[in-house]
Amino acid sequence: MKLILLGAPGAGKGTVAKLLTKMDGSVQISTGDILRGAVAAGTELGKQAEAAMKAGDLVSDDLIMGIMKDRLREDDCKSGYLLDGFPRTIPQAEALKALLADMGEELDFVVNIDVPRDVILDRLTTRRTCTDCGAIYNVKSNPPKEEGKCDSCGGPVVQRDDETEEAIGNRLDVYNEKTAPLANFYEGEGMLLTVSATSSDAVIDAITEKLGK
């Protein structure tokens, strides 16, 4: 399958993407994970992205498109992909449309995961992430078996730099201003599936039903 997962930070895009990869071998492509990897590795890309990420602002469209143009041409994309955290602005959506047309590819559809703001805020402040594999935990509802240690890879499970209260507020504002308009954009393209659900299982069910599986 080839899907875009839209939704506010904390809506569950990453969790849903990981579940979907197990169904048909599609790969999860998270621009956030790619960027965090680059920051951790201290690459040139990481240096360019770090300050904006820490503040909860977006990195530039040019930087993101540079990454995605290469990433979508990699071999593993042939079995399908779940775009998690991309596109995030109207210019990115336009550039992706041109890129896919150029590659002769079509997406199945765009899933908009719609979760109430109070649920989002609660989730983000209690969320913890494995810095090695990106697995997502929650201190209240889904802690790792051993505190601070990833169940699947043993890596460190920590609170992200951009998950301080201040940065979270900014990320939600940035989402409403820059990313929320993408729902209208894809509605206009006839590609939007909006799912109002707080459980990832319910989101998966809606997606599989639409895929006709």
- Please state, in angstroms and rounded to a whole number, the distance separating the CA atoms of residues 61 and 106: 21
Q: What are the residues whose beta carbons fall under 8 Å from the beta carbon of 76, sequence distance 6 or more?
A: 27
Q: Is 18 a residue that touches ligand ADP (CB under 6 A)?
A: no
CB of 28 to ligand ADP, least distance (A): 11
Residues 85, 123, 130, 200: which binds ligand ADP (CB under 6 A)?
85
Positive or negative, the CA dihedral 177, 72, 193, 119 is: negative
Tell how many helices (H) and how many strands (E) occur in the chain: 9, 8
Contact region with ligand ADP (CB under 6 A), list: 49-57, 72-80, 146-154, 194-202: 49-57
**88 tagged catalytic:** yes
> In the chain, what is the straight-line distance between the N-terminal and C-terminal CA atoms, in Å?
11
Interface with Zn ion: number of residues (CB under 5 A): 7
Short-list 92, 106, 99, 95, CA closest to 181: 92
Cα–Cα distance between 178 and 69 in angstroms, integer? 21
- What is the contact mask toward ligand ADP in residues 54 to 83, using x (rule: CB under 6 A)? --xxxx----x-------------------
47 is catalytic: no
86 is a site residue for ligand ADP (CB under 6 A): yes
Of 109, 129, 96, 91, which is closest to residue 10 (Cα–Cα)?
129
Determine, following the binding rule CB under 5 A, whether residue 150 of this chain makes contact with Zn ion. yes
Give bridge partners of residue 28 from the DSSP assignment.
82
128 is catalytic: no
- The residue within the footprint of Zn ion, chosen from 107, 119, 153, 180 (CB under 5 A), is 153
Work out which of 28, 123, 162, 192 binds ligand ADP, going by CB under 6 A: 162
Annotated active-site positions, please? 13, 88, 127, 160, 171
- Binding footprint of ligand ADP on the chain (CB under 6 A): 9, 31-32, 35, 52-53, 56-59, 64, 85-88, 92, 162, 171
